[in-house]
Amino acid sequence: MATSNALVIAGAGLAGAKAAETLRAEGFDGPLVLLGDESERPYERPPLSKGYLMGRSEREKVYVHPARWYEDHDVDLRLGTAVTALDPAAHELTLADGSRQGYAKLLLATGATPRPLPVPGAELDGVLLLRRLGDSDLIKETFRTAQQIVVVGGGWIGLETTAAARAAGVAVTVVETAELPLLQVLGREVAQVFADLHTDHEVVFRYGAEVAEITGTLGHADGVRLTDGTQIPADAVIIGVGVAPNSGLAEDAGLEVDNGVRVDAQLRSSHPDVHAAGDVANAFHPFLGTHVRVEHWANALHQPQVASRAMLGQDVAYDRLPYFFTDQYDLGMEYTGYVAPGGYDRVVFRGDTRSREFIAFWLSGDRVLAGMNVNVWDVVEPIRALVTSGRTVDTARLADPGVPLADLVT
């Protein structure tokens, strides 16, 4: 194939759509191809476990762009088109129908896939994963008739789905291997807040528990059996045990892959004409001084803007602090910063955890690594400034709601 001057994006999720948007906004007027294996044009996933799942927001609201946007911006959006192979030396992709697509520069924005639960019965009807719009539709439909469900995994997806199920009047048991939900990401002090939140909404937790089997009748799940022999009946079982990056294309092509596609601060892979962004990218973060793979919305929103500029030859680096949010019942939260598992000394609270209106700060020595504002708003920028300043803080002042956060940085 003759050398192509096309810029090609593999993966038409939020990261892929934002990359296309940036490339056009930056003035690239050559051929621009966006390849996605789903049948839907790019959409945002957070509503799929929140407002959309609860029937509170319309389908049209989830899409990244209006349907006409792609045509209007001369973006060759090809849906239902899986990329099956990558040849970095030839600058060529193979598509599922056997055809080839050449590129000058490629962005891998292939995201992540939920991990299945490797137990007998995982293939039964009524065992549900949540990643795509259709998954959310199916779970919403399930909530209409189910009386009780089991959620396997007390992470973000599991807990948000639990809150949506409770809003639909469905009884929920959460099966979690650890001693608290979100223990690994938040640590004991703040994980307890989420445990209490759900317990207050009559959610039953089974901690230190592992599913041995999903049981079924006539091909449909009817409960789970734990390794200690306990049977928990359920009309459906929702699996939320994490995701794996879709890095197979890169790996098969011989690119460096380690917990996702390993990229530098310019989001460039081990081949200079292949970049990666979003859930699939394990990117070197200049401020954190390490590679991080972030599975959150804000990362998929912002990283492609840097990757696209780098594809156009600009000298840029991605150094935004990780940020994410959740909404569960009447708790809204934003988290800014990064703490490696076990990488903090203590948590300082500003405000009242019992009324669920507080900011939690994770500290290493007297330096703030991350902050989480719960039902407290308009503080993300001062928290970001506090973390990136790298300054030591007076923890008594940090805990005092009377001291403006901005005053702690000066």
Ligand X SMILES: Cc1cc2nc3c(=O)[nH]c(=O)nc-3n(C[C@H](O)[C@H](O)[C@H](O)COP(=O)(O)OP(=O)(O)OC[C@H]3O[C@@H](n4cnc5c(N)ncnc54)[C@H](O)[C@@H]3O)c2cc1C
Binding site for ligand X (CB under 6 A): 10-16, 35-38, 45-46, 48-49, 82-83, 109-112, 130-131, 157, 246, 249, 278-279, 295-298, 300, 324-326
How does DSSP classify residue 268? B
Residue 279 amino acid letter: D
How far apart CA 172 and CA 154 sit, in angstroms, is: 12
Q: How far is the CB of 399 from ligand X (least distance, A)?
A: 27
Q: How far is the CB of 403 from ligand X (least distance, A)?
A: 29
Nearest to 351 by CA among 326, 372, 332, 378: 372
Q: How far is the CB of 277 from ligand X (least distance, A)?
A: 7
- Comparing CB distances to ligand X, the nearer of 43 and 408 is 43
- Comparing CB distances to ligand X, the nearer of 17 and 387 is 17
Hey, is 30 helix, strand or coil?
coil
C-alpha dist (Å) from residue 208 to 163, 173, 177, 179, 321: 21, 13, 4, 6, 32
Q: How far is the CB of 175 from ligand X (least distance, A)?
A: 19
How far apart CA 92 and CA 89 sit, in angstroms, is: 8
- Comparing CB distances to ligand X, the nearer of 207 and 297 is 297
Phi and psi of 125, rounded to 5°? -60, 150
- Comparing CB distances to ligand X, the nearer of 121 and 278 is 278
Q: How far is the CB of 24 from ligand X (least distance, A)?
A: 17
Query: Nearest-5° angle of CA 75, CA 134, CA 123?
Result: 130
Q: How far is the CB of 227 from ligand X (least distance, A)?
A: 27
Q: Count of residues for the chain?
A: 410
Q: How far is the CB of 303 from ligand X (least distance, A)?
A: 8
The two tokens of residue 363 are 């500290």
How does DSSP classify residue 218? T
- Comparing CB distances to ligand X, the nearer of 35 and 172 is 35
- Comparing CB distances to ligand X, the nearer of 36 and 126 is 36
Residue 366 amino acid letter: D
- Comparing CB distances to ligand X, the nearer of 121 and 240 is 240
Count of other CB atoms within 10 angstroms of residue 340: 11
